[in-house]
Chains A and B, each alone.
Chain A
Amino acid sequence: MNRRAYQAIMRLRFMLLMQYRIAALAGITTQFMFGFVKIMVLEAFYLSTTQPQPLTFQQAVGYVWLGQAMLRLLPWDGDGEIQALVRSGNVAYELCRPLDLYSHWYARAIALRVAPTLLRAVPVFLVTLFVLPPKYALSIPTAGGWAAWILSTLGAIALGCAITNLINISMFWTISGEGISRLIPAVVIILSGMGVPLPLFPDWSQRLLELLPFAGLVDTPARFFTGQLSPTMIWVFLARQLVWTAILIIWGRRLLARGLRRVVVQGG
C-alpha cells in the first residue's frame, strides 16, 4: 500500500475543500434554522403524546443538533470531481497512476466528508452546547459518552465513505449521475435518522432499521452522545458499522473492477 500517496491526495483535497468558508457560513445558518424547526415540531409532539417515548425530549433535542452539526458527513452525493472525471474521460489519467483506484477514491471521499464537516460542526457545537437556553441545548455527555461518540463517529465516517465510493462508481453505468444523486438523499436522510430520530419510528420498523447500514451514519453516534445508549454498548454498534463498511467496500471493489472492464474512456 502506498500510504504516502493516499495521504497526499487526502491532504490536497482537504486543503481545497477548506476554502469554502462562505458556503460553510451560509450552511450553518440553514442548519440552525432547520434544527429549530425540527425541535419545535418535536416539542409539539412531546407535549401531546401520552405514552412514554424511547427518547426523552432532551435527548431528542441533542439528536437533532448532532444531526445538524454533522450534516456534511452524510453520504448523500458523490465526489463531483470524480463524476466529472468519468464524464469527460479524464479518468484515463487516474488509471495511469500506480495506485489502487478504489483506495484513491476512498481517500478523496474522506476529505470530501470530513473537511466541510469540520468547518460547520465546530461553530454548531459551540453554540448548541454553551449559548442556547438549557431546554433547547445540547447536553454535555459523560466521559464514556464522549468516547463512544468519538468511536462511533469514526465508524460513521468509514461507512459514509464506502457509500460515497459506491455512488462514485455508479457513474460508470449512469454517466450523468443525475438520477442517483436525486434518489440517494431521500433514502439516506430518512433511514439514517437525519429526518426523524430513528427511535421514534414505529416499533415494527425498528428491526429493519437496525439491519440496514444507514442507522450507523447519524443515529448511532447521536444516541451515544445523548446517553440514550449506554457507552458499554459501543462494541456492538461499532461492529455493526464496520461489518457494513466491509461489505460495502467489497461490493464497491467488485463493481469498480467490472466498471473498469467495460470502461469506454469517453471521447477520443
Chain B
Amino acid sequence: MAQIVVQDLRKAFKVAKREAGLWNAFRGLVKREYTHVQALDGVSFEIEEGELVGYLGPNGAGKSTTIKILSGILLPDEGICQVMGRIPWQERIDHVREIGVVFGQRSQLWWDLPVIDSFELLRDIYRLSSADYRKTLEKVVDTLELTDLLEVPVRQLSLGQRMRCELAASLLHNPKLLFLDEPTIGLDAVSKLVVRDFVKTLNEEQGTTVILTTHDMDDIEALCSRVMIIGRGKILARGKLKDITREVARERRLVVELDGDYSKEYIRSQVPGAELVKLEGKQAHFDFDPARISPPELIANISARFQVRDLLIENQPIDEVISRLYGELHI
C-alpha cells in the first residue's frame, strides 16, 4: 500500500458572514448568517514512500486544509485518509511521532528563548535518546549552517535564519514524512536556495517523503518529481510539471532583435503564424505554436523580411504558464 492514501476527502467550513455597515453589524447580533465554504470537494491521491510531491494551487484552494488533515490537526467531514496505515486524527499521537511539519507562516520555536532551548524541548517531547538527538542535531546544524544561530533568541533571527531553524526543528525526530507548507514564503534568494538544497538532499539521501505546498514555481521546478494542482477543493491536474505545462503551454516564445524601428502593425502584417506579444524598442517577442509553424520556417520568414541581429527561442515563463493553467482550469 502507498504511504499516503487519500480517497474522496471532503471538508466544509462554516463561515459567519456579514455585509458591511453598522446596520448589518446590528443585524448580525440577532441573526447570524453562515456560508459554507467547501474547502475540499472530493480529493483523492496516493503518494509512495520517498516521493517529493509538489502541491500547487491558488490561495484558498484547499492546500493547507489537506496538509492539516494529513497531519491529524483537522477532521475531514467525509472520505478516507491513511498515512502509513494510520488514520491521522484517530491515532494522532502515534501518527505525529513519525511526521515532521513546517508551516511557513507560523513558528514552532519559543520566541524568547535561544534556538537550542526549543530543540532540547523537542528532544524531550519526542523522547529522543541523547545519542540519537546529538547525531541528528549535528547533521542538521552542519547542513543548514546553524552553528552561529543556536544561542540566539528566536526573536532576533532574520526570517531566513528562522526558517532554517524551523526546518531543523521539524527533523530532530527523524520523521519518515515531511509536510512543508510554504517553506520559502518571504525568503530572499540565498535562503531559498539553502532550503531547497536541503530538502532535495534530505529526500535523496534519507528517502524522506516530502509534500511541499508553495507558490514559488522555482521551488517546484527545482524539487518536485510530481505535482498535483488543486483548485476549488478539487484536484485538477497531476503528473510531471513538464507534462502538465506542455499541455497548457504548447506555445513557445521567440525573441528577435531587429536592425531598425518598425511599428507593431507593420511587424504583425509581415509575420503570419506567430503572435507579437511585446515590442520593446527593437526587441520583438512572438508567441507561436510549434505544431502549427515550425521554428525554422518562422525564423526563415522573419529573416526574409527584416534585418535580424539576434534571436532566441525560449519556453514561456513558468509563472505565466501556471496562471494561464489556473485560468484554463477555471480556478
* Chain A interface residues toward B at CB < 8 A: 2, 4-5, 7-9, 12, 16, 88-90, 92-93, 95-100, 261, 263-265, 267-268
- Cβ contacts A to B, 13 pairs, < 8 Å: A5-B121, A8-B124, A12-B110, A12-B121, A90-B108, A92-B73, A96-B72, A96-B96, A98-B126, A99-B125, A265-B73, A268-B103, A268-B181
Whether B107 pairs with A90 at a CB distance below 8 angstroms is yes
Residues in B neighbouring A96, C-beta threshold 8 A: 71-73, 96, 99, 101, 108
For the complex with contacts A5-B121, A16-B110, A98-B96, 14 further pairs of A-B residues with Cβ separation under 8 Å are: A5-B127, A8-B125, A12-B121, A90-B106, A92-B101, A93-B107, A95-B96, A96-B108, A97-B96, A99-B125, A100-B93, A263-B74, A268-B64, A268-B181
Residues in A neighbouring B117, C-beta threshold 8 A: 12
With the chains together, A268 CA to B72 CA distance in Å?
Answer: 16
Question: Is B94 in contact with chain A by the CB < 8 A criterion?
Answer: yes
Which residue of chain B has the shortest Cβ distance to A91 in the bound complex? B73
Whether B124 pairs with A93 at a CB distance below 8 angstroms is no
* Distance in Å: Cβ of B215 to nearest Cβ of chain A: 12
Which residue of chain A has the shortest Cβ distance to B94 in the bound complex? A98
Residues in B neighbouring A97, C-beta threshold 8 A: 96, 125
* Distance in Å: Cβ of A158 to nearest Cβ of chain B: 23
* Distance in Å: Cβ of A143 to nearest Cβ of chain B: 38
Q: A95-B92, A98-B94 are in contact. Are A89 and B106 (CB under 8 A)?
A: yes
Partner of A2, one of B74, B75, B103, B127: B127
Whether B125 pairs with A98 at a CB distance below 8 angstroms is yes
Residues in A neighbouring B64, C-beta threshold 8 A: 268
Whether B75 pairs with A261 at a CB distance below 8 angstroms is yes
Q: How many residues of B contact A (CB 8 A)?
A: 31
Question: Is B285 in contact with chain A by the CB < 8 A criterion?
Answer: no
Whether A98 pairs with B108 at a CB distance below 8 angstroms is no
Whether B113 pairs with A99 at a CB distance below 8 angstroms is no
With the chains together, A70 CA to B60 CA distance in Å?
Answer: 49
Whether A16 pairs with B105 at a CB distance below 8 angstroms is no
Residues in B neighbouring A7, C-beta threshold 8 A: 124
Whether A16 pairs with B113 at a CB distance below 8 angstroms is yes
CB neighbors of A among B82-131 (8 A): 92-94, 96-97, 99, 101, 103, 105-108, 110, 112-113, 117, 120-121, 124-127
Question: Is B68 in contact with chain A by the CB < 8 A criterion?
Answer: yes
Whether A9 pairs with B74 at a CB distance below 8 angstroms is no
Partner of B101, one of A8, A93, A99, A267: A93
Whether A95 pairs with B105 at a CB distance below 8 angstroms is no
Question: Is B306 in contact with chain A by the CB < 8 A criterion?
Answer: no
With the chains together, A220 CA to B246 CA distance in Å?
Answer: 76
CB neighbors of A among B48-63 (8 A): none
Residues in A neighbouring B262, C-beta threshold 8 A: none
Which residue of chain A has the shortest Cβ distance to B13 in the bound complex? A264
Whether A95 pairs with B103 at a CB distance below 8 angstroms is no
